[in-house]
Amino acid sequence: MKKIFNVIFYYLQLILFVGAFCLTFFIMLQMNRRLEKSFFTTIDVFVPFIILFILLIINILANQKTVKKNLFYNITSFLIFGTISIVALRAIFDHYLIMGTLNSYQIDFNYFANFIPFLKIMIYGLSLANFLFMFHLKEKKKQ
Amino acid sequence: MKSFFVEYANIVATTILGLLFGLSFFLLYVNFYHYKEIQTTYTPNTENGTDYENILAQVNEIRSDANSYYQATYRGQESIYDMSGLQTKFNSCMDNFESEELKKLLDKETFDIRDVSDLIHYYQNRILNDCLVVQLYNIANEENPSIQIERLKVLAPFIKNEIDLFISTGVGYVKSNIRNNDSYYFSNQSAKNTIFELTKNSYLEIINRYKQSLTFIKTLSGWYRTVAQGG
């Protein structure tokens, strides 16, 4: 049962990671376009995504079971990326957020901007946990 | 030694995951609660008729005052053209209160925050701007009044002051409260009953603005009826 949940949450968190990144990228792009600012001023929002992406690649290439088969890690990642996706979708589609309905892009940038510090904390934290889980003792071969 | 550090790293990583789990769950819950909260609707009390019916009743009274002037039978001292001009202004003003757009906004049983936002925009554009400022403000212009009615000069300061007050108080406070509804806030029933409930209080505030505007115009139209009837 644990293995099944592990596989499910592992792949779900990968899908949601891509979704969360794409939604964040879209909103930040629209925000900067509206403010007529260079996109590179918001690169600090994407640094945690890039770090986590590199760590995920290392997990896959090195086949690190301490991370890939860690149910708690997979569930937490799933929850974090799910939260980011839900907040981004609300900023775009929730018409009860009046600020969003007033501007021509129909996105509540203020609402999403308030969430960005939490987004950074969660992804940096996830990256740190991922890195720390990479350290493990080699299993002693049974003689 | 190595196993100690590895175990220590795992403990720290698990602790961090635990904190992140709690944080993300909290944010998810806050968002869900906020989503439900901003969809709160308000059902006005209709014991004395709906707000729209009350507004229409006042509009009819004002139109009755405005249409009390008949050019053919007027025997007063004022210019018939200026009297007709003022009548047209009153009727143009009332057209804004009787429009299909306002009926669609107001003729409802329940109101949500989007309806209140639409009412605010309509008030700013059609009532405050098109009616009070465009139609009525310039008749109080002492240097170059658009309507040259002698008895209007006494009323001019009152008209100017009242319209200036409408413009300065405006709907800024209500508008900023509604626009900032994207901030997370926790409101329980006790707070809603005693302090502030966004949808209900902003709706009552904007309806009050509509009624105050009508009360002001009714004062003017009452004066106009007196003049029209040769008083």
Q: Which of A16-25, B161-170, B204-213 has the lowest mean pLDDT?
A: B161-170
Q: Which of B17, B111, B117 to mutate to test the interface with A (most CBs of A within 10 A)?
A: B17
Q: Is the pLDDT of residue B24 over 90?
A: yes
The better pLDDT of the pair A92, B173 is held by A92
Q: Choose the mutation target among A97, A107, A126 for the interface with B, i.e. most B CBs under 10 Å.
A: A97
With contact defined as beta carbons under 8 Å apart, do A53 and A47 qualify?
Answer: no
B4 against B119, higher pLDDT: B119
Q: Which two tokens stand for residue A71?
A: 């149910």
Name the residue among A80, A115, A132 with its Cβ closest to that of B20.
A80
Are B16 and A128 a contacting pair at CB < 8 A?
yes
Residue of higher predicted confidence among A54 and B231: A54
CA distance A65 to A68: 5
How does pLDDT run across B109-131, given as a tens digit for each residue?
Answer: 999 989 998 999 999 999 999 99
Q: Identify the pLDDT of residue A124.
A: 96
Report the pLDDT value the prediction gives residue A143, as an integer from 0 to 100: 47
A34-48, A75-89, B5-19, B171-185: which has the minimum mean pLDDT?
Answer: B171-185
Residue A48 near residue A120 (C-beta atoms within 8 A): yes
Q: How far is residue B203's CA from residue B112's CA, in Å, rounded to a whole number?
A: 9
pLDDT band for position B46 (50/70/90)?
Answer: confident
CB contact under 8 A, B182 and A133: no
What percent of chain B shows pLDDT beyond 70?
92
List of residues 6+ apart from B22 with CB closer than 8 A: none
Which residue shows structure tokens 């986590």?
A52
Helix B198-228 and helix B80-97, axial crossing angle in degrees, nearest 10: 160
HSE, side-chain direction, 13 A CA sphere, residue B178: 29
Q: What is the mean pLDDT of residues B166-195?
A: 72
B66-88 pLDDT, tens digit each: 998 888 888 788 888 888 888 99
A79 contacts chain B (CB < 8 A) = yes
Tell me what ipTM this predicted complex has.
Answer: 0.89
Tens place of pLDDT for every residue, chain A, 143 residues?
888 888 899 999 999 999 999 999 999 988 888 888 887 888 899 999 999 999 999 988 988 888 888 899 999 999 999 999 999 999 999 888 887 776 666 888 888 998 999 999 999 999 999 999 988 766 555 44
Percent of chain B with pLDDT over 90: 39
Using the predicted structure, report yes or no on whether residue B192 has a pLDDT greater than 80: no
Average pLDDT value for chain B: 86
Query: CB-based contact (8 Å) between B125 and chain A?
Result: no
Name the residue facing A122 among B10, B12, B23 (closest C-beta). B23
What's the CA gap between B115 and B101, in Å, rounded? Answer: 12
Higher pLDDT pick, A87 / B169: A87
Place B104 in a pLDDT band, splitting at 50, 70 and 90.
Answer: very high
pLDDT (0 to 100) of residue A39: 79
CA distance B103 to B100: 5
Is B3 at the interface with chain A, CB within 8 A? yes
Cα B2 from Cα B86, distance rounded (Å): 93
In this complex, the residue of B17, B23, B38 whose CB is nearest that of residue A129 is B17
Residue whose pair of structure tokens reads 């720390």 in the numeric block: A132
Q: Are A119 and A45 in contact (CB under 8 A)?
A: yes
Domain boundaries in chain B?
1-37, 43-228
pLDDT band at B201 (very low <50, low <70, confident <90, very high): confident
